[in-house]
Structure formats: structure tokens, C-alpha cells
Structure 1
Amino acid sequence: MDKFRIEVIKATPNPQQVMWLAMHQDYSEDLVWDKRDRAPDETKAGEKVIKHLLSGERGHYGPLEHPQITFNVGFFPHSMMQQIRTHRVGISFDVQCLAGDTEVTFVKASGSLKKAKISELYKSWLNKDKENKVQNNNKSQERDFVKNLPLRVLNEETGKFQISRIKDVLCSGVQPVYRLTLEDSKQLDCTTNHKLLTIQGWQRMGKAVGLVVNSDREVIKTENDCWVLCNGVPILEKTSAEQIQSQVKAHPVKVAKVEYLGLQTTYDLEVAEPWHNFVANGIVVHNSFRYTGKRLLDVAEGKRDAEDVFYLRPVGEYTNRQGKRYFYSEEQRQADLEWCIEATKRYQQRIGEGLAEEHARGIIPFDTRQHFVMSCNARSLMHLLDLRWKKDAQLEAQKFSELLFGHFQEWTPQLAEWYLENRAKKARLSP
């Protein structure tokens, strides 16, 4: 369990003040924004929230839901992650996708741009034509064609465009889709969780309103030369397509509006390293991360320690849910570790035989270590602790809760102190 980690990606600053302002507005006819300079400081605000909301058992706990915090959770076993995902209220995990009509940008050998709808890329990836009559023996040929398309991506270090390749085309099912419109009239239809590149880094579309989004510039091909439009000024470029892309920089454009479109079938791409992004409707977006078996192959080849990939409990005394005690010995643990290593070798064999990664992974032991991003508000965070920080919870979930509570203390110290004294490890559901 020493490898377990939880790090804060981003959190609402002064969260207890935010709770107090929200709570105070509920009982004030005045606009609390106009009196924000007279609001109590963070510590005092926390004390007032506890006194007038939590300790008072008022029953209206909406103010706790306004401050948000996002965590990067790492190296926990898959079984614990499944528990966290199953028992959650107001906690979200990273899911992002684009509408089928979204146009993905590719680069021709001449340096000019070519675009293709992501839904059509998905059909080609699955080897399906309009009548679904394409034979299976053409499947690998058509998929290889999509893989070899020169995809336009942004080098996030230099801010310049370059060329990469597609690793996978995904269908994410039917999702609520919103339309993001920029001031330059570009539009992107996607889910609220899809990440866009802004001047403040990667932001989910649902939180990108009012921020500045990086949009790509076009490359115009004349008869003999390539012209790059930079701030509306054409610059002559007598270079290769790859070199042309490296000369083109992203530029900022403000968000004009966001509107709900309804439920649609959605898609996404997985892009080859190192830049996990691509250009969709002229906007730089993040790609999905799919399952990858590289770390399993590294274990099979002896390049990575098996315990960096698989989780096994330490040697020691344990008790099951029925209260029966047992001892997990060093011999048992070593045998289990060897079993995990053998499974990676079988996985390697199946991959070599041509099986898909999602097929071959079925033989891998369940508790591979997982990394994920988790977002919650103050209220749902307490609810999660109520569920998983109790004596009969899975040991790994209890450790998760201990690490989570440490960040809760740093973020909202007064609220966390109240929680520790009144609710911690008592299996009472959050207000």
C-alpha cells in the first residue's frame, strides 16, 4: 500500500468562504456579491458554516456543493476503483467524446489540410461501408490506412503544429451533447467533459465558458507554394508538409456561447504519443486514453517490476467479512506474484498471435494498479468518506479514505475537523 497516491489537480480557492456566501444568500434579500469585501475570512467562514448549517441541522446542504476539487488517484487496485465508481454521489470520472459530424484535421503531403468526419473514421476502422458489405479480408488493410493518415496535433511545449498518427477510433455511445461556439464562428459539438486546450491549460468544455480556446490556423496551397495564414497575414513557406506544420502556431479565440443539442452517438480518438491531442472542427481537443497493454508487456519482458503493475496485499494477519482470521504468508504471496508474471507472458503470446488488446487482457489478474481522475464537491466528498472510511470497508478503500481525508483537511480545515469529530468512520451518510 506504500505506492498508493492521491494528488490534487485543482481545487476551488477559499472553499469555506464560497459555502458561506452561498449559505448567506439563501437568507439575504441583498446580493451578497456586493458585500463580499465584508465576508468573513476563510477560518471564520468555516466556523459559521458549521454553526449555522451543519451543527444546526438545517437540512439545506446545497451550499456545500459549490466548491469543487479534482484528484489524481494512482496505483490503487482495480477492485477498489470499482467500489469507488459504483458507490458515488456527485463524483465524476473522466469521460469525453465528440459528435459524429465532428471533422478531424489531417495534413496532405503538399501541406494543405484535409478533413474527415469522426463517424466515418470509425466506420472505416471497423471496416463497414454504407451497406456493411466489405469483406473481413479487407479489414486490416482499411484499418492500416486510417492508422497511417497524417493527423494534425499540437506540440504543447512549442505551441506549434506537427504530425502524428491514430492508435484507435472509439465509439462512446449515446451521450448528452453541447455546442461550443467561438467568436471566430468555429463550433464544436461534444460532451461537457471533453477537454479543450485553453491559455489556462486543459479545461473541460463545461468549464471553458469565458476562457480562451486555442484554435488552429489554416494552410493554403497555391499552385507552387504553401502559404500559412498567421493573424490573417499569408507567409510563404517552401518546405515539406512536416516543416510547414511546425511553422504554424495555435492562436487564442474566446468562447461566445454554449448550448445543449440533445442526445447523440459520440466518438473519440486515441492518438500516438507524445501529444495526446488532435484538431476537431479547427479546435485543439484532448484525446481519450484507452486500455493499453504496454506495461504488461514490459513485465513479461522483465523491463518493469511486476509490483508496479499488479497489487498484492502485504504478508500478514487478516480478517474476512465473517470475522474469520487468516494469515497471508510470504510463500503464498510469492506464488501469486509469479502467477501474475506468467499471465503477462500469456498475454504477450496472445498479442503476438493477433488478438486485440481488449480480448487478450481477459486473462490478466483482476487487481492491476489503476490511475484515474476523480472530481467531487465538499458534500459528495464527505459522502464518499462515509461509505468507505469504516471498519468493515475494504482495507485498500480505507487507505484511500485516509489519503483523501488529508487533502480534505488542507482544503477545508474547519469543515474537515467537524467531520472528524462528528461523522468519521461512523458509516453515516453525508448531509
Structure 2
Amino acid sequence: MDRFAVEVITQTPNPQQTIYAAMHQDYAEEFVTRERDRWPDESRCGELVIKNLLKGGRGHYGPLEHPQIVLNCGWFPHSTMQQIRTHRVGVSFDVQCLAGDTEVTFVHASGGLRKIKIAELYDLWTNGEQASRERKIRGCKGEPPGTYRRDCKTRLKKMRLRVLNEETDIFELGHIQDVMCSGLQPVYRLTLADGKTLDCTTNHRLYTSQGWQRMGDALGLIADADNQVLAVTKTCELMTNGVVRPDALYSQEPWLKAQVNQGLTAKQIAEQCGCSVEVIRHWAKQFQLKLPSGRWRGLKTVAGNGLYRDKAWLQAQLAQGLYVDDIAALAGCSMFWAAKPTPTGRKLKAHPVQVVSVEYLGMQTTYDLEVEGSWHNFVANGVVVHNSFRYTGQRVVDVADDKLEVEEVFYLRPLGFYADRQGKKYEYTAEQRQQDIEWCLEACRRYKVRIEQGFAEEHARGLIPFDVRQHWVMSANVRSLMHLLDLRWKADAQLEAQKLCECIWPHFQTWVPAIAAWYEDNRLKKARLAP
């Protein structure tokens, strides 16, 4: 349990004053916000809430539901989240996510790139192709006549997603398993030194030069109750796709324009800069420059002086950067088809780029992907990010491959004496605990076999012990949080749920001190339902 952690992501400022205003409006004729300059301060409002609402026993507790707090809970067993979700009132749970305009990178068979906004990807995944179709008669699966969008999940699953091999730092290809909408979340924009931006939540995991880290942790992000950035306390480099020269000449408009005016193709400019052709095309588009196509089209060769048949001579002209018209004139022949050069086989590697600024963008609808295969990541706006934590497949495989310790992925109770609400008393010994560790390890190996046999993750995960460690985001209001504490901090509640409540309690005390003091005196661990 020593790894369990709860941290505040955001919270309503002046919550007791907010409750006071709502309570006051319930019984006042006037528009109470116009009296804001006459409101008591936060401390006095807390006293009035206790006196007139909680101590009064009036039974009208709606004002307690307005202030919200958002907590990040980490390294708890899955069963704990199941416990606290039972009989919950006004408590929401969520995982990592990206903003809707984040572009996901796919790779065509030709090597070209296609970028799709994750919100559009979710729309296609959920609703089908964007072009509407008309069904005149009932469909083969009983679908009624009418307008519809044809399902395209199979096509999307076959698209080649850019993923990173975390062992070699070379980009490879993967495929989508699922696309999810994660609801409204506070979103921040990270700006990198090379101009890239990424919009994500604080709990989204990013691949940094120090390995996988959650955005907020990687940057040491400090925000106020309104989510506005107060400070970034850590230097962070994110791993991005492509190869970039320090001088980044292609990002300088005069230099790039001069190369284009010389008639150089995107490939020739890219070779000068040591970057990909796609990067040059991107910056040329940014500066509204028209690049030469570099493609040689024309007729079959016609008799001339025959020089074009000399391979060494022809290669020498190509090396000088001559176009087909010039070579044809030297050879005394018409234009001809030239063979496409053989790719050099250069692999695209990840490289670190420093985050230079962080900006809060507000509440936005957010999304995430689940990626199948060995590498559970993808490229978003050119940055390597982790896929959803919804499935735990790769972590389990890593345990089977001895890359992770069992207890990094699974939770096992400490040694000691235990009792449950049915009166059972027992000792959990070191020998029994070691047996359970071996059981978890064997389950991981079995899971890996099933994945290698082609089983879906949601099928194979039935073999995994229930208490996989999970991180989640939980939001609640004052009333629902007291309800949760009543249910899960009583003496006979699940031990790990009690520990979660213990971790939440200091944040509750800091946030609403007067209400917390009243709750501690009247209800804490007494198994009463909160008002």
C-alpha cells in the first residue's frame, strides 16, 4: 500500500463561499451575485454553512453539490475502483486522453503520411463513413430503411498506424484496436522547441527522454484551482518523430525559398537538411511555396548520340541535379522515363525535443486510442504518446518477459493478520504470498501465449488476476465525496478502499476545512450516509 497515491488535479476555488451563495439564493428574493461584495469571506462562509445547513438538519443539501474536486488516484488495485464505484452518487471516473483536434499519424504503403484528427477518427469509428447512404429496403441484418452511414471499422483497423519500437527507438507500423471518447476534461497545450504542439490532459502518458511519464509529473506542472498554469518546475524533453538538424534550415522561409527557386525538389532539399521529405513539404506548404514535382514523364527514348545508354554518364548528369529536359538535350533525344531511385532504407528514429511552454486551453471533449500489437503507443501531432490504459496487455507481457516485477503490475496485500465482516480471521504468511506471486507470474505467461495465438486482449485478460494496478481520475462534489467516505472509510470496508479514503481526506480538509471539521466530529467512520 506504500505506493498508493492521490493528488489533486483541480478544484473549485472558494468552495464554502460557493455553497453559501447557492444556499443564500435558495431563500433570497434578490439576485445574490449582485451582492458579491457583501459576501462573507471563505472562512466565515464555512461557519454559516455548518450553522444553517449541516447543523440545522434542514434536509436541503443541494448547495453542497456545486463545488467540484478532481483527483488523480494511482497504483490502486482494480478491485478498489470496483468497490468505490458501487453505490456511488455523483462520482465520475476517467483515464488519460487527448484533445479532439490532435492529429494521429498513419503511413501509406507508398511511405506517404496521412494525418487524421482523433475526433474525426472517433466519428468514423462510431458512426461510419461520413458520406450518407440511403437504404431503400430492410438490410441483411434487419436494419430499417432510411439514411445511414456505412460501417468502416474493418478498414480503419487495417490502416497502418505509426508506432515506436521502444527497444530500438525506430518507428514501425501498428493498428488500431479501439477509439474512445473520454468526455470533458481540462486540456493543456504543450509547445515544443521545434514548433510542434500537443493538447492533452495532465494524466496522459508521454514518452520522454526519461521514459514514460504522465504529463503533469514530467513537467512538474503546478496549476491553480481554475486550472491556470502557475509554474512548470521541471525540464522535459518529449520523444518525437523525424530527424531534425539543430539549425533547422527548412524552417527558415528565405533559405527554403532560395532552394525552391533553384529548382530543387523536396527530396534534394531533405537530403541537404538531413530530414524527411514530408518535413520539407510541410514547411513549403506553411510558406506557400510550390515545390517541383521531381517526376520525369515523357516519351520513349529516340535515337540521338546514344549517351543516355552510358550508365556512368547518365548518373553523372543526375548527380549534377540536371532535369530530364537538360539531359535529353545533351543526349540529342526526346524526353524519356527514368527508373525510380531505390530507397536508401533509412529508418525513421525518435528524437527528443524540449517543451518550452504550457498553456491551459479550458474544458474540451477528449479522446484516446487503444493500439494492438507489441508497442502500445502512437504518434499524435508528431509526439509519441501512450495509448489508453483501458487494457493492460503490454504490462502483463512485460512481466512474463521479466521486464517488470510482478508487484509493479499486480497488487498483493502485505503480510499480517486479517479479518472480514463475516468474522473470518486468518494470517497471510510469507509462504502464501510467494505462492500468489508465482500464480500471477504463471497467469502472465499464459496470457502471453494466448496473445501470441491471436486472441483479443479483452478475451485473454480473463486469465489475469483481478487486482491489476490501475491509475484513474475521479471527480466528485462535496456531498458525493462525504457519501463516498461514509461508505468506504468505515471499519468493515475493504482495506484498500479505506486506504484510498485516507489518502483523499487531507485534500478534503484543505479544500473545505470547516465542513471537514464538522464531518470529522459528526460522521467520520461512523457508517452513516452523508447528507
- In 2, Cα distance between the equivalents of 1:107 and 1:31? 58
Report SS of the residue matched to 1:410: helix
Counting only pairs closer than 5 Å after superposition, residues 122-137 of structure 1 correspond to structure 2 as none
Q: 1:410 to 1:391 in 2, by over 3 A?
A: same
Map Cα deviations across residues 300-357 of structure 1 (whole Å, 9 max, x no partner).
1222121121111111111122223211111111111111111111112222222222
Question: Residue 379 of structure 1 is aligned with which of 460, 479, 483?
Answer: 479
CA contact (8 A) 1:343 1:365 kept: yes
Q: Distance in 2 between matches of 1:22 and 1:45?
A: 11
Shift of 1:167: 4.3
Correspondence for 1:293 among 393, 403, 406: 393
> How far apart in 1 are the matches of 2:182 and 2:396?
31
Distance 1:404 1:27 in 2: 33
Q: 1:201 to 1:386 in 2, by over 3 A?
A: farther
Aligned residue number for residue 51 of structure 1: 51
- CA–CA distance in 2 between the matches of 1:192 and 1:141? 25
State the alpha-carbon separation in 2 of the partners of residues 340 and 406 from structure 1: 34
**Alpha-carbon shift at residue 34 of structure 1 (Å):** 2.2
Q: How far does residue 82 in structure 1 lie from its aligned partner after superposition? A: 0.6
Provide the residue aligned with 1:187 in structure 2: none
The TM-score normalised by the length of structure 1 is: 0.67
Select which of 413, 435, 442 maps to 1:313: 413
- Normalising by structure 2, we get a TM-score of 0.55
Q: CA RMSD in A?
A: 4.7
Q: Any conservation in 1 of the 2:105–2:379 contact (CA below 8 Å)?
A: no
> Secondary structure of the residue that 1:19 maps to in structure 2?
helix
Distance in 1 between residues matched to 2:390 and 2:30, nearest whole Å: 49
Per-residue CA deviation, residues 89-138 of structure 1 (Å, 9 max, x unaligned), is 0011127999xxxx9886876678678765655799xxxxx9899xxxxx
Q: 1:236/1:377 Cα in 2 relative to 1: closer, same or farther (>3 Å)? A: farther
Mapped to 1, the partners of 2:464 and 2:73 lie a distance apart of: 22
Quick one: structure 1 residues 325 and 113, their matched pair in 2 at CA, closer, same or farther if it must change by over 3 Å? Answer: closer
Partner secondary structure for residue 288 of structure 2: strand
Q: Distance in 1 between matches of 2:154 and 2:21?
A: 60
Aligned: 1:340 with 2:440: yes
CA pair 118-229 structure 1, distance change in 2 beyond 3 A: farther
Q: Which has the higher strand share?
A: 1
**Where does 1:403-418 land on structure 2 (aligned, <5 Å)?**
403-418=503-518
Q: Does 1:6 align with 2:6?
A: yes
SS of the residue 1:193 aligns to: strand
Query: Partner of 2:471: helix, strand, or coil?
Result: strand
Alignment-derived partner of residue 145 in structure 1: 158
Q: Structure 1 stretches of 5 or more lacking a match? A: 125-129, 134-139, 152-162, 173-189, 205-210, 212-223, 247-251, 259-266, 280-285
Give the CA deviation at 1:193. Answer: 3.2
2:207 corresponding residue in structure 1: none
Tell me the equivalent position of 1:234: 288
Aligned residue for 2:184, secondary structure, equals coil
Distance 1:149 1:194 in 2: 25
Amino acid at match of 2:46: G
Shift of residue 17, structure 1, vs aligned partner:
1.3
Counterpart of 1:234 in 2: which secondary structure? Answer: coil
AA in 1 matched with 2:502? E
2: CA distance, partners of 1:365 / 1:306: 11
2:84 maps to amino acid? I
Unpaired segments of 5 or more residues in structure 2?
A: 129-134, 142-152, 164-170, 191-197, 203-226, 228-264, 267-280, 294-347, 354-358
Q: Which residue of 2 aligns with 1:168?
A: 176
Q: Which has the larger radius of gyration?
A: 2
Cα separation, 2, equivalents of 1:312 and 1:62? 40
Distance 1:327 1:114 in 2: 55
Aligned positions of 1:182-193 closer than 5 A:
192-193=183-184
Compared with structure 1, are the counterparts of its residues 328 and 107 closer, same or farther at alpha carbon in structure 2 (3 Å cutoff)? closer
The 3-state SS of whatever aligns with 1:69 is strand
Q: Which deviates more from structure 2 when the two are superposed, residues 419-428 or residues 38-47? A: 38-47
> 2:28 maps to which residue?
28
